[in-house]
Amino acid sequence: MRLSKMKAAVAPASSHGGAHHASAIAPEEALARLLAGNARFCAGKTIHPHQTLARRKSLSRAQAPHTIVVCCSDSRVPPELLFDQGLGDLFVVRVAGNVVDEAALGSIEYAAEHLGTRALLVLGHSKCGAVKATVDAWKKGAFPEGHVYRVASLILPAVSDARRLKGDLVANAVTANVRRVASGLRASRPVLAPRLSRGILKIYGAVYDLDTGRVSRLF
């Protein structure tokens, strides 16, 4: 398949689709929606927005997610629930340890470039099993077998950063991992870095607490 045909195949279905509408939502507004939804979630006052039949039917034509969320595959961290969002609100990339490989990066770029999504949140969480497994592997000097090694190898630099900090190593590594992933995304070309420099896209980082349900913003 020629490159021109490949681009056409992944282009938005309509010129009046997601990119136009998503661009109208500033990154700050998107973040505010997430934090307000999380406050409702913590208080047990969720409203479950955008889950009607009409909403589902409207999204069959185009999508305009206001935020890209990079988060862990952990079953306890579903972003649509903890941010009280609905259909079409979030473009979610979930990988154990909220790491970003080439496929995940391509997914992020798609949302930024073709859907016009302007906010990108890297979300870690407390007691992350992937981070803990990497910390344990570092302590033992033996990494897990199989493809789990790939995940651990991406988290290991964050564990190295966390070793210099006081306090719980796993908790510090979770935070360091969010910062490292975000840093890598900021430097990513040709799609993300230019958008960040022009203010079209903004990256945020946060950590979700499994005990309280609260999302704490890091940057």
State the CATH number of the domain containing residue 41. Answer: 3.40.1050.10
Domain housing 133: 3-217
pLDDT above 70 as % of the chain: 89
What are the CA-CA distances from residue 14 to residues 11, 56, 134 (Å)?
Answer: 8, 17, 44
pLDDT, greater one: 23 or 110: 110
- The C-alpha atoms of residue 29 and residue 194 are separated, in whole angstroms, by 21
Domains: count for the chain: 1
pLDDT, greater one: 164 or 8: 164
Residues 6+ apart with CB under 8 A from 210: 76, 77, 125, 126, 127
Residues 6+ apart with CB under 8 A from 114: 10, 11, 12, 18, 19
Q: Chain-wide mean pLDDT for the chain?
A: 91
Number of H helices, E strands in the chain: 10, 5
- The C-alpha atoms of residue 85 and residue 64 are separated, in whole angstroms, by 13
How are beta strands 202-208 and 90-94 bridged, if at all?
unpaired
The confidence score (pLDDT) of residue 23 equals: 54
Element (H, E) at 149: helix 148-162
Q: What is the pTM of this model?
A: 0.89
